[in-house]
Amino acid sequence: MGTGMPDLQVETGREFKNVSFAEQRLENRRYESCTFTGCNFSGVFFRACDFEDTVFDGCNLALAVPEETGFHRVRFVGSKLTGVDFGRSRDLLFSPAFERCDLDYALFPRKRLKGVRFDGSTLRGAIFSDCDLSEAVFDGCDLTDTLFERCNLERADFTGALHYVIDPENNRMKNAAFAPEGLAGLLRKYGLNIG
């Protein structure tokens, strides 16, 4: 008797260029060492998919739903991930890296993101709740209206980040690094005038 899930489809070492998967439902697929360039995944519902050692370059994943989907050593470069709820993705071996990406309004509830790199990305209105962001790097990132709630930010590097407001009483922040001009973002809740 079947489980209702389609057979596992495996793609290894493939390059996909300018392919549109928009609004599709992709189930039970595994991509190993693949590259997606200029592909459109907007609104895609991923179900039980796995991406390993895979690169998304210049792709649109806005509002994609990664239901029980794994991202192991996955690089997102110049890609749009607006509104993606990574809380729905698989926790096991979750290890993405983001470079020049649009992560506005993305959600990261309870994700282990130790040492993750966010380079030159926008995270306006993103939400990090109950995350392990220890040793994470936010280099050249716009964190306008980004929420950090009950996160481990120990040894995280915010020296190259802009427009952040972080409550030190609501996050673990030992040895986190900040540029002097960003300190106002740590004290905003106290209503102090700094400058």
At 40 the pLDDT is 98
For residue 185 the two structure tokens come to: 């973002």
- Please give the C-alpha separations between residue 89 and each of 30, 64, 146, in angstroms, as whole numbers: 14, 11, 20
At 185 the pLDDT is 79
- DSSP assignment of 58-70 equals S-B-TT-EEET-E
Enter the DSSP assignment of 176.
-
How far, rounded to the nearest angstrom, does the alpha carbon of residue 170 sit from its chain's CA centroid?
Answer: 21
Taking the C-alpha atoms of residue 159 and residue 13, their distance in angstroms, rounded to an integer, is 37
The CATH code of the domain at 9-157+172-190 is 2.160.20.80
At 26 the pLDDT is 95
- DSSP assignment of 16-78 equals EES-B-TT-EEESEEEES-EEES-B-TT-EEES-EEES-EEES-B-TT-EEET-EEESEEEES
Taking the C-alpha atoms of residue 118 and residue 137, their distance in angstroms, rounded to an integer, is 6
10 Å CB burial of residue 175 (0-12, 13-18, 19+) is: exposed
Residue type for 42, please?
S
At 1 the pLDDT is 45
Tens-level pLDDT at each residue, the chain (195 residues)? 445 556 889 999 999 999 999 999 999 999 999 999 999 999 999 999 999 999 999 999 999 999 999 999 999 999 999 999 999 999 988 999 999 999 999 999 999 999 999 999 999 999 999 999 999 999 999 999 999 999 999 999 999 999 999 999 999 999 999 988 877 778 667 665 656
Taking the C-alpha atoms of residue 149 and residue 166, their distance in angstroms, rounded to an integer, is 8
Question: Shortest CA distance to 45 belongs to which of 67, 72, 18?
Answer: 67
